[in-house]
Structure 1
Amino acid sequence: MALLSHLDRFNRRHPWNHNDHYGPWVARQVAASGARDVLDVGCGTGNLAARLRRHAATVTGLEPDPATARAAAERFADDPAVTVVQTDFAGRDPLRRWDAVTLVAVLHHLPLLPTLRALRGCLAPGGRLVIVGCHREAGPADLLVALPAMIANPVMGMIKHPARADGPPAHMTAPTADPQETLADIRAAAALELPGARIRRRLFWRYTLVYDAPAG
């Protein structure tokens, strides 16, 4: 317990964003799909949206937090191809379909089955859904992955943020929630709503999901 407490204090002094770590991977998945119009759900201050913009013609970001949405909108004020809307997923344009939809550390804030169903409905024919998510740890497999992550986390913190921080950077201040579903729960829900989805357990307490909608 003392070791965990020490690691927690160290990680707070050298914060780095696990979600941004997967940003390049998400952008590659979207680029490989050939998507032109992309929806980023829970876009935060726009770090992922900036990466997606390098490959897509348009990016729409949804962000429910007013201050964060304002910061993201100001960031892209000179780029008409990026639109930031202050709303949650429920406030999206219900008639619009996108070539790709991305969510990073967002799905566990939403009801799992209905959201997966709605996400499938957001995709244009042949569109791609890319998720980096959080899951509740349960069982020996999660423990085996968590142990190397606990060791690697402070190392990454020193590399990415060597100076001591008084607090987290702005893009790491969004509200957080503990995930309720295990990876098994998520696999089962995806089997029902996203047949053929590819799910992998990842380092730093994350999993990834990629689903391609039928082209017809």
Structure 2
Amino acid sequence: MRLLRPWTRLNARHPWSHNDAYGWWITRQARRLGTVRPRRALDVGCGTGNLLARLPGVVDEVTGLEPDSATAAIALGRFAESPTVRVVEGSFDQRPPGSWDLVTLVAVLHHLPLEETLSSLRIMIKPGGRLVVVGLSRETRADGPWSALSVLLNPLVGLLLHPRADGREPVGMTAPARDPKETLEEIKQVADRVLPGARIRRGLFFRYTLVWGP
């Protein structure tokens, strides 16, 4: 639409990662695990490590799992001297063994087989632990109001976070990506079967959230 062209040009000059908008929310979810502090966290598809940088101090040990070699190399270099953050290059099937107090997936679940992955995640969570997902779903008419609001807010947030109008994408946005196949309703149906009690909500910037655990 012609009316949106200036908005689109502004957005192109100030790109930013929609995933980073949820970093504070994920950290808050980690802090809500009650009086027992979470000890081990796994961030599946950690990218260049922006979420990994937030979690020390909330958890004792953080492991990032990243399948893309170039992206994993950036995260490995970033945390090479960290005593509490470990980065593993590998796919979800190559994840470290064991169970976790907190498992996070940010813009990752739609890259994986949905039901099979949720079933695996259920087993990976310790009793009293929490699964936190920020995901993408295939858009339907029901997503329209949220998407419209996100389109309007997107360049404004970009202007704040990326004030230099150089059009350069943050490094964290350069990892390979794919479009989601499942709608939010389809995701809810699978989650209801595999993760009873999971709380799923639509969110801004073309994302939804899923939380399973106390």
TM-score (norm. length: structure 1): 0.93
- Unaligned 5+ residue runs, structure 2? none
- 2:126 corresponds in structure 1 to 124
Deviations 1:133-152 (A, max 9, x none): 0111112x211111111111
Matches of 2:137 and 2:7 in 1, distance apart?
21
Matches of 1:84 and 1:114 in 2, distance apart?
24
Give yes or no for the alignment of 1:157 onto 2:158: yes
Deviations 1:166-213 (A, max 9, x none): 421211111111111111011001001100001111111111010017
Give yes or no for the alignment of 1:44 onto 2:56: no
CA contact (8 A) 2:14 2:167 kept: no
CA contact (8 A) 1:31 1:55 kept: yes
Q: Which SS does the other structure have where 1:22 is aligned?
A: helix
Matches of 2:91 and 2:207 in 1, distance apart?
22
Matches of 1:119 and 1:4 in 2, distance apart?
41
Partner residue of 1:109 out of 108, 111, 122? 111
Deviation of the 1:7 alpha carbon: 3.8
Deviation of the 1:63 alpha carbon: 0.5
Give yes or no for the alignment of 1:146 onto 2:143: no
Matches of 1:3 and 1:176 in 2, distance apart?
29
- 2:23 corresponds in structure 1 to 23
Matches of 1:97 and 1:115 in 2, distance apart?
15
Amino acid paired to 2:58: H
Deviation of the 1:4 alpha carbon: 5.0
Q: Which SS does the other structure have where 1:156 is aligned?
A: helix
Instruction: Between 7-16 and 186-195, report the one with greater CA deviation.
Output: 7-16
Partner residue of 2:71 out of 59, 68, 73? 68
Q: Which SS does the other structure have where 1:128 is aligned?
A: strand
Q: Which runs of 4+ in 1 moved over 2 A?
A: 1-10
Q: Which SS does the other structure have where 2:25 is aligned?
A: helix
Q: Which SS does the other structure have where 1:52 is aligned?
A: coil
Q: Percent identity?
A: 54
CA RMSD in angstroms, aligned pairs only: 1.4
Matches of 2:81 and 2:138 in 1, distance apart?
40
Deviation of the 1:164 alpha carbon: 1.2
Cα 1:6–1:136 change in 2 (3 A) is farther
